[in-house]
Structure formats: C-alpha cells, structure tokens
Amino acid sequence: MTDAPPSTLLADQTAYAEAVQLALDSAAAYYRDGTSTLDDDAYDRLVRGIQAYEAEHPDAVLPSSPTGKVAGGAVVGDVPHTVPMLSLDNVFGAEQLAEWVASLERRLGRPVTAWSVEPKLDGLAITARYRGGRLAQLVTRGDGTAGEDVSHAIGTIVGLPARLADPVTVELRGEVMMTASQFEEACAKRQAHDGTSFANPRSAAAGTLRAQDRPYVCELTFFGYGALSHPDDSSELAVRLRESPHSEVMAWVAGQGVQTPAVTDVGGVVAASLEQVQERVEQIAAERAELAFGIDGIVIKCDLAADQAQAGFSSRAPRWAIAYKLPATEKITKLVAVEWNTGRTGIIAPRAVLEPVELDGSVVTFATLHNVADIQRRGLMLGDSVVVYKAGDVIPRVEAPVVHLRTGDEQPIAIPQVCPSCGDAIDASQERWRCVRGRACRAIASIGYAVGRDQLDIEGLAENRILQLLDAGLIVDFADLFYLTREQILGLDRMGEVSTDNLLAALDRAKGQPLSRVFCALGVRGTGRSMSRRIARHFGGMDAIRAADAEAIQAVEGIGPEKAPVVVAELVELADLIDKLIKAGVNMTEPGWVAPGDPSDTANSELPLAGMSVVVTGAMSGALEALSRNEMNELIERAGGKASSSVSAKTSLLVAGEKAGSKRAKAESLGVRIVDPEEFAGLVGSLL
C-alpha cells in the first residue's frame, strides 16, 4: 500500500525486543493518564515497524508484542465488558481505503451500499451504563474485555446526561475529551494549583477522567458513537439496537439527550459509494482546523447491521469499520532557545526555537509563544520536551511542556529587562509587553510598513531612503513624509531632480488612497489589511472611527470584546499622528460608503459577488496579473464579496491561478465553484 507513512526500521531481534518494550511502556502511560514518551505519530511508526519485522520473522514474535491487541496489550481492568470494546484498524490514505473496501466486499460477496462516515474524536473511549434511564456506571475500554470503573466522573461530563429521555437500560459508547476552551480552563486551574500545565487536551482528559483526589474539578465532554444492550437481552429496544442501521441507532441516541457528532459541522453522514465516502473524508479533513475539539481521523463503518454481522470481528477490531488517519497536527520536540524581537508597533514578542520536527507536511523550527505571561502560564523551561501544535494553515505554537519527560537539566527562560531592540525600558503594564518608545523604537519598520504597496503604496521609499530621512531629522513618523519640501529632498545624497519629483508625485497620489489603506498604514494593533477594510467600510470616515467606543468597535465583524478596547486605546495613542495626516490633506473617507440603514443602501445586493466568500490562490494572469493579493482582496470586497484566506465548506468561490496547489484540491473535494483568473475578471467586469 503506497500511501502509508514510513515506519521505524528494526535491524535485528534486539532492536525488535526494545521496540516492543518501548511500545508497551508508551501505551501503558498513554491509556493510564495520557502521558507517554512518544507522540501519536511516533507511536504509530514504531508499531508499524514492529509489524513489518514480525511479518519477516514470524517465528520470533514475542508474546508481549502490541500487534493484534486492544490498547497495545498494555492496559488491564477489573470491570468486565458485556460486549468486547475493541480498537479500530487504520488506513492512511485514499489508496489504502480503497483496498480495505475491496477486501471487505470480497469477504461479504457483494458491494456495500451504505457507509457511515464520522469524525474520529481524539479522546478516551468509555462505556456509559444506564439502568432504567439513569446513568449508573462509567467504564474505560481497558484491554477490550475489561476496563476501569471511573464512575466518580459522573456529573463532570458535558453531553452525558444523568437521565435519558426514556427509562431504558442500555450501554452508550463514545469518547470523553476536552474542547479547546475546556483545555484552557483546565490548564489555568492546574497552573494555579502546582505551577504546571497539561501537555495537550488528550492527556488532560485522561488524567482528569481518572482523578479522584484533585482539589479542583475540570469539565469534560462526551460524544457518543454507539449503543448496545446485553447479548441476552431480548427486549424490543435490544432487538432494535442490534438490527437497525448504525445511522438510525445514532439518531435514537441523540434523541435520548446524549451528545453525538451530529451536533457539529462534521457530524456523521451515510454515503452510498466509495466515491461519496472519500468526498466526505475530504470534507471533514478540510474542517479539522476550525473545530473546537481534536480529531485525528475519520471512521468509516458499514451502516447496515446485516453487513456488520456478516463481516464479524478480528481479535482486536471489527472487520466492518476502519479508521482513516489524518496527518499529525502535534508532535513532541525540544525547546532549544527563545528569541525576543521588537515589532514595528513596539510589541516585544518571544519566539520558540525548536529542534526541527516534521508537522502536518512541513518542517517546523520556530513556533509562537505570544508573550511573557503565556510562557509563565505554561511553565516552560529551556530544554523542555514540548508539544508543538499546528492545524491547517495556522502558525505553529508551543502548547505546553511535557512535564513527565523532564530530566532536571532544564533551565529557566531568561526574560528581557530592557527592550531587545533599543535598550530602553519595557512597559509591562499590559499582558503584551512593549518598548516605552512604542513605534518610535522601530520607526524604520513602522514607516516602511506604512508606505508599502498594500498600504499607501509610495514608490521611491526603500529602507535606505527612510533611514536617510530619519538620520537627517526630516521625519519621525510617516505623517512627516507629507510635509517634505522639494528643497529638503534635493538636499539628500543621491537624490536628483527627477527622483525628487517622482517621490513628491508618489506622496501626492498617496494622499488620495481610500481610508481602508490609510487606516492599515497606521498599524493599529489587532488589525491588518482585511480588518482595516472592514473597519473603514463599517464607519465610512476617520471621525466616526475615532468617536467610536469599544462597544461600537465590537460591532465590526471579527472584532471581539478583547480586541475592541485595544483598538480604541491605539487610536488614542495615534491621535497626534492622525491629526498630522488630516492637516496634510490625506484622505480620511472610504469611497462608496453608505450609512447602515440608509434607504439608498441597496447597491451592495446588486454587486456581482454579493454575499459570497471568495478565496484566491495561485498566480494570477491576464487582467489580474499585476494585482497583489491584497489588491485582489480589495477587488473582491468592492464587488460585494468577503475575501478569505482558507477554503472551507463556507467558501462560495475559489479563484485558482497557476500552481493553485492544495487549496484547489480542497475546493474540489468540497464541491466549491472554481474559476480561473480570466473568468473571474469577467465576473467583476467594470470594477477592475
């Protein structure tokens, strides 16, 4: 099968025996409390290596080998399961999935005409036993035949009601996990308690589910994936659960008040063919980065009970279901160093330097640490083994240290006492530290940003020219550029009459830029090009923006309660700069703006892209060839659309140029309309 990820190579029997023991120890820790010396991807590679060695040396297989066993053979329990609680076999791509389907249909002697496709939730499998409709017992999967009683967790798990809608006796099986918000809250509680943090949501959920003596309580979430009755039960409900399609069983579970994946955008669906299954797999994978909880794959099952019964089970897994594994979005690596950089607004930001690690298709060497408070909350130290996380196109970030892997050689992270750029003092009154000089600390960077193509687009102001103007004392910020005289510019080295006149003409053109670009040039913290366009189109003029309080700013799409006060404070700080721009005659209005509720506000609904979410990818050509990506986004919004950077099920249109790559493939899998640059140019017509 050609699309399987690589496995760990084992050279001899000694290496094989060591690998078996490592896998056993890792699985035991993983299923005990979520800790492990290996991340999921490393464990999967190790087990595939063990399987490959055993295939070549069948007489040398150790009895303790994890292959063919539930939970890798590492877990035992003392509460017997009424029906074995098995694991799932894995496939790692479309080719392997097709081979598995073909093998299953050969076993059945007929095509499978109904498939259930569900997200594979990254949690811990449990069974919840209800008696007379009341939740009576929770049991972990254990070794598949018996598990551990964790009934003390009853009452702390969202989605698992104390009573069902009907007074029935039934077992519900599903995953216990932590959502992103629950994980953040759990980390805050643990940090306050002992100064450490959980490594990731799964380890947090595993430890929390088994914890009985913690002085704090962490909330968990349950998603059901099955329901069953005792094999000897012949009641009407028991027969219904055994003979109904899986999709109908899950609908019944949801009707009892239990949470299932159906409440999410990636809930289960029934597909009639392999092609439809693969389409759904791609859809779920595309939504993965936007989910509030972790998934590590997609589960494909025969939906019909008759197909399941005929396919049967192996010693560790049902033959009628498979897990389609997705690439890992988190890995464990070493935190080698922390770099401190001052940005163009004076913000002092730390960046993690990592031992290179392959993550979600790319090699990651650096990751986000956000700020000093973030480092302290997570309890990070130099030399720590850390969980690095990435989902979709999101910048990698350090999630947390893996505390149980510490050796004692780790060192505290040195926190800067002065600005790493200019050596001046640091304003630490806010969570994000800032040089007391603010934008003046990196004036050359803030001015260079303001005059860039996607902001004021002032040609002739390369970094060396800006530095020359700063050194000559002619400017201190970009507003001063509009007060330069011809004589002042001619007095600079290597500035002749032609280049001086060209620069003055570019400055004069920049005065007429729309408000959205002027606002973007200000470099307001928490905003960028797209947010600047939204703010300008919402308020229409700089006076209205400056008069807005936090509540009014929050009315702009994408600005939440945390960002709005920052924008207001930034505008106060930038008051002198804005006043200088106004005095210089720089435009402070957004062309074509109509006040919300104005009777004439009907034009937008007639624009060619009205209400559409549009993504641009690849190299543009034809009439669009000269446009930057920001100019393309501006064009989309002038045409009534919303510019987006990532493809999802909510995308209306993808403009795909040459070398469109993965975004085109994702759009195809989601059924998103795709147009080339020439067709898009025709759509927007005279707006070009």
CA distance 154 to 173: 15
pLDDT given at position 599 = 54
Q: Residue 545: what residue type? A: I
Helices (H) and strands (E) in the chain, counts: 23, 23
Residue 1's pLDDT is 34
Burial 10-20, CB ≥16 within 10 A → b, else e: beeeeebeebb
pLDDT at position 577 is: 95
Burial class (CB in 10 A: 0-12, 13-18, 19+), 315: exposed
- DSSP states of 112-139 as a string? ---EEEEEEESSEEEEEEEETTEEEEEE
- Domains located in the chain, CATH noted: 13-73 (1.10.287), 79-325 (3.30.470.30), 330-427 (2.40.50.140), 438-510 (1.10.150.20), 515-583 (1.10.150.20), 604-687 (3.40.50.10190)
Would you state the pLDDT for residue 138?
A: 95
* Catalytic residue from among 120, 325, 331, 390: 120
The pLDDT assigned to 19 comes to 82
The answer to whether 120 is a known catalytic residue is: yes
Question: What's the pTM value of the predicted model, to 2 decimals?
Answer: 0.60
DSSP-derived secondary structure letter, 326: P
The per-residue pLDDT for range 488-539, each reduced to its tens digit, is: 999 998 899 999 999 999 999 999 999 999 999 999 988 888 899 989 989 9
Integer angstrom CA distances of residue 224 from 127, 154, 268: 9, 15, 11
**Amino acid 526: pLDDT:** 80
The whole-number pLDDT of residue 670 equals 83
pLDDT under 70 in the chain at which residues?
A: 1-7, 30-37, 68-77, 360-361, 391-394, 594-605
pLDDT computed for residue 273 by the predictor: 94
Largest CA distance in the chain: 98
